[in-house]
Amino acid sequence: MSAVWAAVLLVGAGSYLLRAAPFLLAHRLVVPDRMAGVLRDAGIAALAALLATSVARVGVQSAGAERAVVLLALLSAAVAGLAGRSVHAVLLVGGAVYVVGSMAATAL
Amino acid sequence: MTAPSLVLPSRAFLDGASAMAALLVGLVPFGLIVGMAAGASDAPVAAVAGTWLIYSGSAHLAVLGGLSAGEGLLAVVAAGLSVNVRLLAYSATLSARLRHETTRFRALAAALVVDPLWALVTARAPADGVRRYYLGAGLVLWFGWAAAVGTGAVLGQHAALAQAAAVGVPLCMVTLVAPHARSRRGAACVGAGAAVGLLSAGLPAGTGVLASMVAGALAGAVVTALVRRAA
C-alpha cells in the first residue's frame, strides 16, 4: 500500500470517528445546555479562525487595488450577513461589489 | 386506475439545498485547487479518494502537502487529524438536534459534517425541518464538492483558479460566520477566534484552529457571565 493510500485511509477513518462519535452516542448522552453552548462557541471560533486566515492570505497574495476590491467585497458581505440577509443575498452583495469594483479598478 | 403519487422534496430540503448550492459557487475554486493538488500526487486515485474519505478541504490539503514535502506518515496523519478535530465540536452540536433520528440516519449524517453544513444548519435550519434541511444542504455539498475536486484533478494547474479561490473562499466564510456574530456572545467568539487564528497562523497545521476554539469558548463564557451579572 502506498503512503498516500495509508494516509488517506487513516485520516479518513479518524475523521469519521470524530464526526460519528457524538452522533452515535447522542441517544445515550444528554449534553447539558451549558456544554452545548460552549461547543457552539468553539465551532463559531473555528470558523472565524479559518475566515481570518483566508482574509490574511488575500492581503499577502494580492496587492493594491485588487486587494482593496476583495476586502471591500468581504466587508459588504459581512454587513449584509450581520443585517440578517439570506445566504443568497449575502453572496450576491459580496459578488456584485467584487465584480463592479474590479471593473472600476481596471478602468481607472 | 389511480395516478402514481409524486413525491416532492419538502420545502426545508429545498431551502437547505438552495442555500448550499449558492455557497458551492464560491467553494468550487477551492475544490478545484484541492483537485489539482490531488492530481499532482504520486498516487492520484488515492489522493482523489480523500475527497470522500477525509471530506474536508483544509485537512485534505494538509495531508497532500505533507506527503509531497516528504514528511513521514505519522506526521501527516497527525496534521490531518489535528485540522479535523474541530469536527468533533460541530458533530456534538448537530447530533443534539438529530438525537431522535434512527441510528442509520445518524451514521449517514455524521459523514456529511463539515464547516459549511454546520454553519448553515445551526444558523438557518427551521426548527420543524432540521432533518430535511440537513439532508438537502449536506447532499448538495457532498456531490458538488466531489465534482469540483474531481474536475480539478483532471484539469491540472490553472493560475486563474487561485485568484477565484482567493475571493470565493473568504466570501463563503463571511456568509457562514456573519449570522453567528449578530449576538454579543457570538461576536465575542468570532473576535476571539479570528484574533487567535491570526496570531497562531505560523503554528503546525490544525494547532491554530484548536487554540481559536479554546479562545472562542472562553470568550463566550466571559460574555455570558457578564450578561448574567448585569441582569
Q: Which residues of B2-26 are buried (b: 16+ CB within 10 A; e: fewer)?
A: eeeeeeeeeebbebbbbbbbbbbeb
* pLDDT score of B93 more than 60: yes
pLDDT for residue A40: 87
- Grid cell, residue B217, equals 469558548
ipTM of predicted assembly, 2 dp: 0.85
Residue B189 Cα, gap to closest chain A Cα (Å): 5
Give whole-number Cα distances, B212 to A31, B113, B127, in Å.
Answer: 22, 19, 29
- Phi and psi at A39, nearest 5°, equal -65, -40
Q: What is the mean pLDDT of residues B111-134?
A: 92
Per-residue pLDDT band for B104 (boundaries 50, 70, 90) equals very high
How does DSSP assign chain A, residue by residue?
--HHHHHHHHHHHHHHHHHHHHHHHTTT----HHHHHHHHHHHHHHHHHHHHHHHHHHHHH--HHHHHHHHHHHHHHHHHHHTT--HHHHHHHHHHHHHHHHHHHHH-
A22 grid coordinates: 457524538
Given the C-alpha cell 469594483, which residue does it identify? Answer: A101
Query: Which is it for the CA torsion A10, B111, B20, A38, positive or negative?
Result: negative
* Burial class, A12, CB count within 10 angstroms (exposed 0-12 / middle 13-18 / buried 19+): buried
Task: Please count the other Cβ atoms lying within 10 Å of the Cβ belonging to residue A57.
Answer: 15
Contact check, Cβ <8 Å, B84/A7 = no
> Cell for A81?
450577513
Tell me which chain A residues have a C-beta less than 8 angstroms from the C-beta of B185: 41
Nearest-CA distance from A22 to chain B in Å?
5
Tell me the torsion sign for CA atoms B126, B132, B138, B143: negative
Provide the angle, in degrees to the nearest 10, between the axes of the packed helices B159-177 and A64-82: 30
Is residue B3 over pLDDT 70?
no
- Average pLDDT of span B47-70: 90
Closest among B12, B1, B39 to B133, alpha carbons compared: B12
- The list of chain A residues with pLDDT below 50 reads none
Cα–Cα dist B22/B59, whole Å = 23
Show residues of chain B in contact with A72, CB under 8 Å: none
Locate A43 and state its grid cell.
465551532
Q: Quick one: DSSP state of residue B2?
A: P
AA identity, residue B139: L
Instruction: Choose from A79-83, A85-89, B59-63, B178-182 the range with maximum mean pLDDT.
Output: A79-83
Give me the pLDDT at residue A47, please.
85
Predicted local confidence at residue B201, as pLDDT = 81
Give percent above pLDDT 70 in chain B: 94
- B208 vs B142, higher pLDDT: B142
| pLDDT surpasses 70 at B2 | no
Question: Is the pLDDT at B100 greater than 90, yes or no?
Answer: no
Q: How far apart are alpha carbons A74 and B155 in whole angstroms?
A: 28
Residue percentage of chain B with pLDDT more than 90? 46
Within 110-139 of B, beta carbons closer than 8 Å to A belong to 110-111, 113, 115, 118-120, 122, 124
Q: Are the Cβ atoms of A57 and B166 closer than 8 angstroms?
A: yes
* Cβ within 8 Å, pair B49-A8: yes
Q: Is the pLDDT of residue B102 over 60?
A: yes
Q: Give the separation between CA B196 and CA A56, rounded to whole angstroms.
A: 13
**pLDDT of B196-206, one tens digit each?**
999 988 887 67
Give the mean pLDDT of B33-48: 89
Mean predicted lDDT score pLDDT of chain B: 88
Q: How far from chain centre, in Å, is Cα B228?
A: 32
Which residues, at least 6 apart from B5, have a Cβ–Cβ distance to it below 8 Å?
none
Per-residue pLDDT band at B8 (split at 50, 70, 90):
low
pLDDT at B166: 75
